[in-house]
């Protein structure tokens, strides 16, 4: 078994003070030359992640799977895919990460299993098997007609006919992923056992996949039902009782009114991924107008006590537009999806740097915005070096290409020949390994990697303030600058972000606590002054500023 993490890694609200880093294990680093990234490969790069300033990593599924959907189609929840390593490799990764003060989250895939899973195989062959009740069957495939088809580019129905079973089975996602029936008590018990198993091996928590969809009810959309919340409260209670200090993160791509309840008033998920904000960040940047961001944050802050929003710009899926209006979706496609190959389902299958035309200033500014918000920031592997994507690959594979560690035909990802890699290397000359790699960026003044590293360094140094849930928006009417203050116990930090392609003048009244001698923490070249309680100056195109103000002592009582 993996060693227990030091007490410092299992205390309080640690998840608000660290930067998370998402890792698709198969695409990160190949340690044995077979062309596929693996768990020992992640262990080999922990020092790099430590230097970057990462405090926690989120590993995409590493379980046994036929790998039709990046491992989210699990065929054995209790075993590691042999191409990715062994249980000993997993234990060593967790132990080495903990030794460096880095926490490790896994993916908790509870909604469905692979149709190759022994549970489903027995259920389809034998109607008298107990496993038959673990899945949803139909003679007509007409039930749950109000449930939307999520992967509408690939599937036309949530029901697929199975010749062996002689019935239709239900799947919310791909037909190769059969949904579990959570009305069966044995399913709920098994999924809690699955969580307990990996937490017992040292995981510090889970990012929970597709949480709104576990229960189905006729006549409803079968999402975010009360039973879903009850189940995850049971999971959370088990974790608090048996593995204190571990965390649950919800992937709940829902509207704002449906998303907030996943915090469960502090009794359900400690973190909820902020899907409502993510597409609006890109729309605000494209429109050079921060009002969208201001409105979403006004509706969602603060998170309930003891919890935190999880913010992200990009991840292993598409930039979702599910909860945008039709006009907003069209605007997002016009701004970032003019290549029709980029469009997938309700959004765009693009990485951060290509969406922003390879402009390091914009990438840095958006990363700084993410890091400044009150909550937990999540970075996607390779975004710190401006990695590109491949639109010629199917589905979302184009944003899951091998990490670019150095120049060369395999980008330092593997010693295997290029034709044996899990996916081909990015070929776009603007983002190829000869232009974008860790080796090429590390230690080079002004490189994107060094800029991102500096951002994380400042955030980590001032974790007490940045991890606070406090946030005060600045009133900057008519300005393309998004601004807010992060109040802290000893220092307040003013954050300003110019969303426009032009230099802009900033004028803002500062709160009464403002000290006369601020400290400029980081940002592009700028000219900012504070006089008579007002901030004045100019920000360059896509410039930003983090400015620290020592807290003015409260006046003594009369």
- Residue-wise pLDDT for 395-407, tens only, equals 999 999 999 999 9
What is the enclosing helix (H) or strand (E) of 521?
Answer: strand 519-523
21 within 8 A of 57, measured Cβ to Cβ: yes
Q: Which one has a higher pLDDT value, 490 or 333?
A: 333
Q: What is the pTM of this model?
A: 0.95
Whether residue 7 is predicted with pLDDT greater than 60 in this model: the reply is no
Query: How much is the pLDDT for 151?
Result: 87
Query: How much is the pLDDT for 45?
Result: 98
Query: 355-392, pLDDT tens digit by residue?
Result: 999 999 999 999 999 999 999 999 999 999 999 999 99
Residue 557's pLDDT band (cuts 50, 70, 90): low
Alpha carbons 258 and 92: distance in angstroms, whole number:
39
Query: 18-60, pLDDT tens digit by residue?
Result: 999 999 999 999 999 999 999 999 999 999 999 999 999 999 9
Residue 512's pLDDT band (cuts 50, 70, 90): low
The per-residue DSSP string of 322-336 comes to TTS-HHHHHHHHHHH
Q: Cα-atom radius of gyration of the chain, to the nearest Å?
A: 24
Tell me the percentage of the chain whose pLDDT exceeds 90: 84
User: Phi-psi bin for 373: left (phi > 0), alpha (psi -120 to 50), beta?
Assistant: beta
3-state SS, 178-220, equals EEECCCCHHHHHHHHHHHHHHHHCCCCEEEEECHHHCCCCCCC
216 within 8 A of 170, measured Cβ to Cβ: yes
* Domain annotation for the chain: domains and CATH numbers: 7-111+185-460 (3.20.20.80), 118-179 (3.90.400.10), 471-550 (2.60.40.1180)
Whether residue 158 is predicted with pLDDT greater than 70 in this model: the reply is yes
Whether residue 523 is predicted with pLDDT greater than 90 in this model: the reply is no
* Residues labelled catalytic: 209, 251
* Paired residues of 103 in beta bridges: 56
Whether residue 76 is predicted with pLDDT greater than 60 in this model: the reply is yes
Whether residue 169 is predicted with pLDDT greater than 50 in this model: the reply is yes
SS3 283: helix
Query: How much is the pLDDT for 25?
Result: 98
Whether residue 526 is predicted with pLDDT greater than 80 in this model: the reply is no
Mean pLDDT of 476-495: 91
Mean pLDDT of 231-250: 98
Query: How much is the pLDDT for 1?
Result: 44
Residue 507's pLDDT band (cuts 50, 70, 90): confident
- Length reported for the chain: 558
Q: What is the mean pLDDT of the chain?
A: 93
Alpha carbons 400 and 30: distance in angstroms, whole number:
14
Query: How much is the pLDDT for 430?
Result: 96
Query: How much is the pLDDT for 513?
Result: 57
Query: How much is the pLDDT for 515?
Result: 60
Query: How much is the pLDDT for 3?
Result: 44
Query: 418-460, pLDDT tens digit by residue?
Result: 999 999 999 999 999 999 999 999 999 999 999 999 999 999 9
Whether residue 171 is predicted with pLDDT greater than 50 in this model: the reply is yes
Per-residue burial over 344-369, b if 16 or more Cβ lie within 10 Å, else e, is bbbbbbbbbbbbbebbbbbbbbbbbb
Of 108, 119, 56, 113, which Cα lies nearest the Cα of 235? 108
* Sign of the alpha-carbon torsion through 5, 6, 10, 14: negative
Tell me the percentage of the chain whose pLDDT exceeds 70: 94
Query: 103-126, pLDDT tens digit by residue?
Result: 999 999 999 999 999 999 999 999
Whether residue 9 is predicted with pLDDT greater than 70 in this model: the reply is no
Q: Which one has a higher pLDDT value, 245 or 490?
A: 245
Query: 265-322, pLDDT tens digit by residue?
Result: 999 999 999 999 999 999 999 999 999 999 999 999 999 989 999 999 999 999 988 8
Whether residue 475 is predicted with pLDDT greater than 90 in this model: the reply is no
């Amino acid at each position: 078994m993996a060693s227990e993490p030091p007490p410092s890694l299992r205390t309080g609200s640690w998840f608000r003070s660290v930067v998370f880093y998402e890792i698709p294990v198969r695409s990160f680093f190949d340690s044995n030359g077979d062309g596929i990234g693996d768990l020992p490969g992640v262990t080999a790069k922990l020092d790099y992640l430590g230097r970057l300033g990462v405090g926690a990593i989120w590993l995409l599924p590493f379980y046994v799977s036929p790998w039709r959907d990046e491992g989210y189609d699990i065929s054995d929840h209790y075993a590691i895919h042999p191409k990715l390593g062994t249980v000993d490799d997993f234990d060593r990764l967790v132990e080495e990460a903990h030794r460096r003060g880095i926490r490790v989250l896994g993916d908790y895939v509870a909604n469905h299993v692979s149709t190759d899973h022994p549970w489903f195989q027995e259920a389809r062959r034998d109607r008298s098997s107990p496993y038959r009740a673990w899945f949803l069957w139909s003679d007509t495939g007409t039930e749950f007609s109000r449930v939307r088809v999520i992967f509408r580019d690939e599937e036309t129905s949530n029901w697929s006919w199975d010749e062996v079973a002689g019935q239709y089975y239900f799947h919310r996602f791909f037909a190769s992923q059969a949904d579990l029936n959570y009305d069966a008590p044995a399913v709920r018990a098994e999924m809690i056992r699955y969580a307990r198993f990996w937490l017992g091996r040292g995981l510090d928590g889970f990012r929970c996949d597709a949480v709104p969809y576990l229960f189905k009810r006729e006549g409803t959309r079968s999402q975010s039902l009360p039973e879903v919340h009850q189940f995850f409260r049971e999971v959370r209670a088990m974790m608090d009782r048996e593995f204190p200090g571990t965390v649950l993160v919800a992937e709940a791509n829902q509207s704002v009114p449906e998303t907030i309840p996943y915090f469960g008033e502090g009794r359900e998920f400690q973190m909820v991924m902020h899907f409502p904000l993510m597409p609006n960040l890109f729309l605000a940047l494209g429109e050079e107008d921060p009002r969208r961001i201001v409105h979403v944050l006004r509706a969602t802050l603060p998170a309930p006590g003891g919890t935190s929003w999880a913010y992200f710009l990009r991840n292993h899926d598409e930039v979702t537009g599910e909860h945008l209006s039709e006009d907003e979706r069209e605007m997002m496609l016009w701004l970032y999806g003019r290549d029709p190959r980029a469009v997938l389902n309700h959004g765009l299958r693009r990485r951060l740097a290509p969406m922003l035309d390879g402009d390091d200033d914009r990438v840095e500014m958006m990363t700084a915005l993410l890091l400044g918000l009150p909550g937990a920031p999540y970075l996607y592997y390779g975004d710190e070096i401006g990695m590109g994507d491949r639109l010629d690959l199917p589905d979302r594979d184009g944003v899951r290409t091998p990490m670019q560690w150095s120049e060369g035909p395999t980008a330092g990802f593997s010693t295997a020949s290029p034709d044996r890699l899990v996916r081909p290397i990015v070929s776009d000359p603007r983002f190829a390994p000869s232009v974008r790699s860790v080796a090429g960026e590390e230690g080079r003044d002004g490189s994107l990697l060094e800029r991102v590293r500096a951002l994380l360094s400042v955030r980590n140094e001032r974790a007490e303030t940045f991890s606070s849930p406090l946030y005060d928006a600045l009133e900057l009417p008519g300005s393309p600058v998004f601004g807010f203050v992060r109040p802290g116990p000893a220092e307040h930090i003013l954050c300003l972000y110019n969303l426009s392609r032009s230099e802009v003048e900033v004028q803002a009244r500062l709160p009464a606590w403002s000290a006369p001698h601020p400290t400029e923490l980081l940002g592009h070249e700028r000219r900012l002054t504070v006089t008579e309680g007002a901030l004045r100056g100019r920000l360059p195109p896509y410039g930003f500023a983090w400015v620290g103000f020592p807290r003015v002592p409260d006046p003594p009582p009369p």
